[in-house]
Structure 1
Amino acid sequence: MTRSCLSYEWFFLIFFHGILLMCMSSCLKSATIPTFANETDYLALLDSKNRITQDPLQIMSSWNDSIHFCNWLGLTCSPSSKQVIVLDLEAKRLVGPIPPSLGNLTHLTRINLRNNRFYGEIPQEVGHLQHLQHLDLSRNSFGGKVPTNLSYCTQLRVLDVAYNNLVGQILGHLSSLSMSVFRPLKQLIKPSFTGTIPVSLSNASQLQYLDLAQNGLTGIVPQNLASLQSLVKLNLADNSLGKGKDADLDFLNFLANCTSLEGLGLYNNTFGEVLPSSIANLSTQLNTIVMGRNMIRGVIPLGIGNLVNLNVLGLENNYLGGTLPPVLGKLQKLSGKIPTTLGTCISLEYLYLGGNSFEGVIPQSLKNLRGLEDIDLSHNKLSRNIPEFLSKLLALKHLNISYNDFEGEVPSEGIFANASAISIFENEKLCGGVQELHLSSCSSKHPKLHGKLLALRIIIPLTCITIFVLLLLYFFPTCSIVKNLREGVLATSSFEDWQLPISYAELLESTNRFSENNLIGSGSFGSVYKGVLPRNGVVVAVKVLNLQQEGALKSFVNECNALRDIRHRNLLKIISVCSSVDHEGNDFKSLIFKFMCNGSLEQWLHPESDEQHQRKNLSFLQRLNIAIDVAYVLKYLHHHSQTPIVHCDLKPSNILLDEDMVAHVGDFGLVKYIFEASKNLSNTQTLSCGLKGSIGYIPLGNFSTK
């Protein structure tokens, strides 16, 4: 009987262990193998992973079967259905195309692939994602057109495809969507969206942010944009909108309906109407109006003072006349620095800028305003010392600089000798001045000694560091860090360090309408002109492409793509590009470079007959240094750039010399990339240039003595 009981106990024990093992096995399988319900998502993600050609951060290494795909980096799944609802791979440095299978992730509500290097066309299958609310593909290398069937994504609220290589016209059919943000294109390289602003765009009644800046838009602004009553920001800057005639700004009469409007950008277009008085009827929420670089006439309306929240008002480079409205003095939301251009208003007698948020110093240019009688700069954030020139303004009767952050010694001459004529309250770092001010004395232990000690604390460490670096360069020239320093890899001449966009009109003015007197040289794809930018007086070299010449557009795109990814002190520094239309309506493309005052190496080695008396012979040391400079930049291009690059047209005329006779290599129109895959090809197939370049020049790598 006892033996029978024991056998039953063993039987039940083994049975329950078996059930437990089966449950554990089932749980493990369900953790790693997708169920039939979400197998489609799993396969679509694997297809996307397989399309990635470069993954320097090893993001895709987490996309494996050891964990459920909902735990893969960059993915978020619905807790209930375990299907992907968010794909966020922003700034992961990924390279590759987007596969059509992305459209199989049918529950996606958000796609963020911003700031990578995805290329190819945006697949039409994205238009199948009916739950999609947010699509950000900006700052990539996508080409072609935006899929027209995005209008089927009826829940789309944010569309941002700026900074790509997309072409075409603005997508009027997207106006049926309830988008709150529409930022279709802001372009640095290839032609941007062209044509007119579609009238149907006004049907997007929920639109809050409409950013169409830096495109090739023409025509007039539709008046029915005023029906976008939820509009918060309207940016139409850097286009060719307007016709330089009356009625260009009529749409402003209707924008008063946009009661939530906070920003209005019309900078750098061709608006030419008289500035309408209806601008005073715009939303009182407006904090920014930028309308500079147009052809606007007339006077500034008196009612502009109604815009009480205005802190940025840009009307520069227009044809405005008359006097500044006194009501501008009522605007108390202004910020930034006091503009130095105020110094040109030599008839100014009263300057009231109190109660704003100005910061920085009082500009020296105000010393030109010798007729100033009253200055009020109180209740701002101004700092540093009180400038001495204020004591020399003989007409000045009252000065109020209270409630700022001034420091140092108060002058004791001029208006500062009369304590009742100045107000300097709540500037706790001030000292000295006349006795009636009751300020502490500026003893030798106070600011000056402190300043000297501070200077010594800065100068001594900097001197030691400089000596150390010089010794390092001298004694350890083979050190990798030193080589990087000497080769200028850390120099900042990248495509991202651009200044503000430069318009066609500005280039026309800077080169004296592309005068022959400004012509520096000509090549197979265009001409180079010397120019002086009117905005800052910088001397530049403007390379204008001849788009009628076959291959010129491809050369332009190649050069832009190459300069976007490389940086080196011996590369010709690019300042900006201009992709627009000229005064005849033709496509216009140019690159703006830093001007090299000593010309090209070609001009030194083989001067023209009229240059013989101007040029000096290159010394042996100069020739050696130029050769070393070129060698450094070639080594960088071949071995240290993100993707190895072959110049394919290196010759003396493409080597420019600056004021110190330092060589800079330019003209990357024929550049070619060498990809890793080429290592597996035969010797006859690894040539990335072919027989390209200038007549009389063939890359040495194209021939072998074998």
Structure 2
Amino acid sequence: MDFANNTLTGSLPDDMCQHLPRLQALDINNNHVTGPVPRNLWQCQELIAISLSHNQLTGLIPRDIGNLTSARALLLGNNNLIGEIPHEIGNLHNLEYLVLENNNFDGPRHSNLERLYLERNNFSGTIPSFIFNASKLSILGIRTNSFSGTIPSTIANLRNLQWLDLSFNYLTSSTSELSFLSSLRNCRNLKVIDLTGNQLHGILPSSMGNLSTSLEYIYMPYCRRSGRIPEEIGNLINLITMSLGINKLTGSIPISLGKLQKLQGLYLYKNKLEGSIPDSLCNLGRLVELQFYDNKLFGSIPACIGKLSPLRNLLLHSNVLTYVIPSTFLSLRDILVFNFSSNSLNGSLPLDIGNLKVVVGIDLSRNNLSDSIPTVIGGLSNLAFFSLAYNKLQGSIPESLGDLRSLEFLDLSNNSFSGFIPRSFEKLLYLEYLNLSFNRLKGEIPSGESFANFSDNSFMGNSFLCGSPNLQVPPRKDIKTSPHRKSRKNTRSSARLPSSCEILPALE
């Protein structure tokens, strides 16, 4: 009986099985059904699949549900069920698929399954030991609960495990070297390990290199890990994503990571890593995202980085990188976002920056860049975020910046730009943030619609600007041409020079 994906309301009658004794499938998934799970549902003895997920069911799971011994799938997720999960579910010896996620249960009980989802509930205490005797278990998802205690080495009993998600709990390791990770080498089909947001402490063991080569995803950010990244991690040649951010990892980035040629995401941000960025990473020909920000990396950005043509996001900010931006980087025609801010890069902005036609975010602030902004940057029609603040740039601000019609954020503050604010900026209709403060700009501040919401903070520290008194600058004063310099062909009495103002020195 399939009533899924409708707008059914009301509750399920307790006596429904008296009228449907031979029912084998009940699917009411994704409706607006309320009330409890029918107390006498067990009387439908031939039920194989029960799907009541994504409704508004309330109350307890009836203990008699353990009499549905033919059931292979029981889906009760995304409701408002409460209380304990009845241990009678353990009597469902044919059960292969149990979904209980996103309810308000407050205690786990026995289950013997191939897939177990207990995500986003209020479970607490240690992970129940019976789970580690479920030898057929392939998926274990208990994320976002309050489980605590150590992750036992008996997890090695789950030899068929493919997906392990223990994230966002309060779990720890019995040893500083994550002994449970070493025991997972017996799980030869394991593809996903997610330990995000647990309190694991200690170091990453070299035995990580002995994990199954089937492993594709490792997520261990915010786990309070310290020590070095082991070279042996380069043995996991099928990794697609490795996330070790927001830890206390030290030492250098292992050269062996260059062997992970299927890697698409590498996240080592917010650690204490030192040394240079190894050239071996340029072998990662499928890399899409590289995030090394907030470390202590030094040296230059590798010139070979231009080989990583799939790269879309490159975040290297808040390190100690030096030298110039390599010209080869500008061959990454599909880059979307790059952030090199808060380093010590020098030199000028490369003229080839105009090649990055699809880029949406550029942050080069807080470096030692000099010279001027190349006019070709006006061709970056998708650019929404652009910051060059706190550099040593000079010259005029190019009119072509007014062609950046997608621009929402522009910060050119704390440089040595001179000349006028381009009138073309009035065309930047999506501009929400503008900071031109602490430069050497002069003349009238444009007054178009896009400037209406900017305050004096956007323009302070430029001694020769004038415009609206609201901006804490002197008012505009039109300069009139003197009568004896008028053209004979122009008989108007007062020709005005557009966009001009004069700042008269104060009388001492």
State the TM-score, normalizing by the size of structure 1. 0.43
**Aligned partners of 2:8 and 2:33 also within 8 Å:** no
The 3-state SS of whatever aligns with 1:210 is strand
User: Equivalent residue for 1:92?
Assistant: 31
Query: Mapping of 1:366-381 within 5 angstroms?
Result: 371-372=300-301, 374-381=303-310
Shift of 1:333: 2.7
Query: Mapping of 1:312-391 within 5 angstroms?
Result: 312-336=241-265, 347-348=275-276, 350=278, 352-359=281-288, 371-372=300-301, 374-382=303-311
For residues 379 and 251 of structure 2, the distance between their equivalents in structure 1, rounded to whole angstroms, comes to 52
For residues 346 and 230 of structure 1, the distance between their equivalents in structure 2, rounded to whole angstroms, comes to 38
User: Equivalent residue for 2:417?
Assistant: none
User: Equivalent residue for 1:228?
Assistant: 158
For residues 293 and 453 of structure 1, the distance between their equivalents in structure 2, rounded to whole angstroms, comes to 38
For residues 94 and 401 of structure 1, the distance between their equivalents in structure 2, rounded to whole angstroms, comes to 56
Letter matched to residue 106 of structure 1: Q
**Aligned partners of 1:161 and 1:184 also within 8 Å:** yes
Q: Does 1:295 align with 2:227?
A: no
User: Equivalent residue for 1:181?
Assistant: 115
Counterpart among 184, 188, 191 of residue 259 in structure 1: 188
Query: Mapping of 1:563-574 within 5 angstroms?
Result: none
Deviations 1:389-436 (A, max 9, x none): xxx9645677366575369xxxxx96968x9xx9x9xx9999xxxxxx
User: Equivalent residue for 2:339?
Assistant: none
User: Equivalent residue for 2:86?
Assistant: 147
* Cα 1:123–1:248 shift into 2, 3 Å: farther
Shift of 1:157: 0.7
Letter matched to residue 318 of structure 1: N
Letter matched to residue 224 of structure 1: T
* Cα 1:155–1:415 shift into 2, 3 Å: same
The 3-state SS of whatever aligns with 2:132 is helix
Query: Mapping of 1:90-489 within 5 angstroms?
Result: 90-168=29-107, 170-171=108-109, 173-174=110-111, 177=112, 179-187=113-121, 192-242=122-172, 246=175, 249-336=178-265, 347-348=275-276, 350=278, 352-359=281-288, 371-372=300-301, 374-382=303-311, 394=323, 399=328, 404-405=333-334, 452=403
* Cα 1:186–1:279 shift into 2, 3 Å: same
For residues 311 and 346 of structure 1, the distance between their equivalents in structure 2, rounded to whole angstroms, comes to 24
The 3-state SS of whatever aligns with 2:24 is strand
For residues 270 and 288 of structure 2, the distance between their equivalents in structure 1, rounded to whole angstroms, comes to 16
Q: Does 1:57 align with 2:44?
A: no
For residues 117 and 22 of structure 2, the distance between their equivalents in structure 1, rounded to whole angstroms, comes to 29
Deviations 1:449-481 (A, max 9, x none): 9x959769xx99x99xxxxxxxxxxxxxxxxxx
The 3-state SS of whatever aligns with 2:181 is helix
* Cα 1:264–1:340 shift into 2, 3 Å: closer
Letter matched to residue 195 of structure 2: L
**Aligned partners of 2:204 and 2:226 also within 8 Å:** yes
* Cα 1:86–1:56 shift into 2, 3 Å: closer
For residues 260 and 324 of structure 1, the distance between their equivalents in structure 2, rounded to whole angstroms, comes to 28
Shift of 1:58: 3.9
* Cα 1:96–1:325 shift into 2, 3 Å: same
**Aligned partners of 1:167 and 1:193 also within 8 Å:** yes
* Cα 1:353–1:259 shift into 2, 3 Å: same
For residues 25 and 68 of structure 2, the distance between their equivalents in structure 1, rounded to whole angstroms, comes to 12
Deviations 1:573-607 (A, max 9, x none): xxxxxxxxxxxxxxxxxxxxxxxxxxxxxxxxxxx
**Aligned partners of 2:177 and 2:204 also within 8 Å:** no
For residues 167 and 443 of structure 1, the distance between their equivalents in structure 2, rounded to whole angstroms, comes to 57
The 3-state SS of whatever aligns with 1:219 is strand
Letter matched to residue 231 of structure 2: L
* Cα 1:311–1:353 shift into 2, 3 Å: farther
User: Equivalent residue for 1:566?
Assistant: none
**Aligned partners of 1:346 and 1:370 also within 8 Å:** no
Shift of 1:350: 4.3
- Which deviates the most, 113-122 or 328-337? 328-337
Letter matched to residue 288 of structure 1: Y
User: Equivalent residue for 2:445?
Assistant: none
Shift of 1:445: 10
* Cα 1:364–1:118 shift into 2, 3 Å: closer
Deviations 1:593-642 (A, max 9, x none): xxxxxxxxxxxxxxxxxxxxxxxxxxxxxxxxxxxxxxxxxxxxxxxxxx
For residues 287 and 47 of structure 2, the distance between their equivalents in structure 1, rounded to whole angstroms, comes to 46
Cα RMSD for the two superposed structures: 4.7
The 3-state SS of whatever aligns with 1:251 is helix
For residues 396 and 445 of structure 1, the distance between their equivalents in structure 2, rounded to whole angstroms, comes to 20
**Aligned partners of 2:42 and 2:65 also within 8 Å:** yes
**Aligned partners of 2:141 and 2:164 also within 8 Å:** yes
For residues 28 and 261 of structure 2, the distance between their equivalents in structure 1, rounded to whole angstroms, comes to 43
Letter matched to residue 164 of structure 2: L
The 3-state SS of whatever aligns with 2:224 is coil
For residues 157 and 135 of structure 2, the distance between their equivalents in structure 1, rounded to whole angstroms, comes to 7
* Cα 1:255–1:401 shift into 2, 3 Å: farther
Deviations 1:220-246 (A, max 9, x none): 222122121110011112222226x63
Shift of 1:349: 5.3
Unaligned ranges ≥5, structure 1:
1-40, 50-54, 64-68, 71-76, 408-412, 431-441, 464-706
- Which deviates the most, 106-115 or 316-325? 316-325
For residues 374 and 304 of structure 1, the distance between their equivalents in structure 2, rounded to whole angstroms, comes to 25
The 3-state SS of whatever aligns with 1:268 is coil
**Aligned partners of 2:270 and 2:292 also within 8 Å:** no
For residues 334 and 147 of structure 2, the distance between their equivalents in structure 1, rounded to whole angstroms, comes to 46
Letter matched to residue 41 of structure 2: L
For residues 269 and 446 of structure 1, the distance between their equivalents in structure 2, rounded to whole angstroms, comes to 42
Letter matched to residue 186 of structure 1: R
Unaligned ranges ≥5, structure 2:
337-346, 360-375, 383-399, 408-425, 431-508
Shift of 1:117: 0.9
Shift of 1:345: 6.6
The 3-state SS of whatever aligns with 1:405 is coil
For residues 216 and 246 of structure 1, the distance between their equivalents in structure 2, rounded to whole angstroms, comes to 21
Query: Mapping of 1:74-93 within 5 angstroms?
Result: 83-93=22-32
* Cα 1:369–1:396 shift into 2, 3 Å: farther
For residues 150 and 92 of structure 2, the distance between their equivalents in structure 1, rounded to whole angstroms, comes to 29
**Aligned partners of 2:242 and 2:265 also within 8 Å:** no
Shift of 1:355: 3.6
The 3-state SS of whatever aligns with 1:103 is helix
For residues 247 and 47 of structure 2, the distance between their equivalents in structure 1, rounded to whole angstroms, comes to 48
Shift of 1:328: 1.4
State the TM-score, normalizing by the size of structure 2. 0.58
For residues 339 and 405 of structure 1, the distance between their equivalents in structure 2, rounded to whole angstroms, comes to 22
Identity %: 28
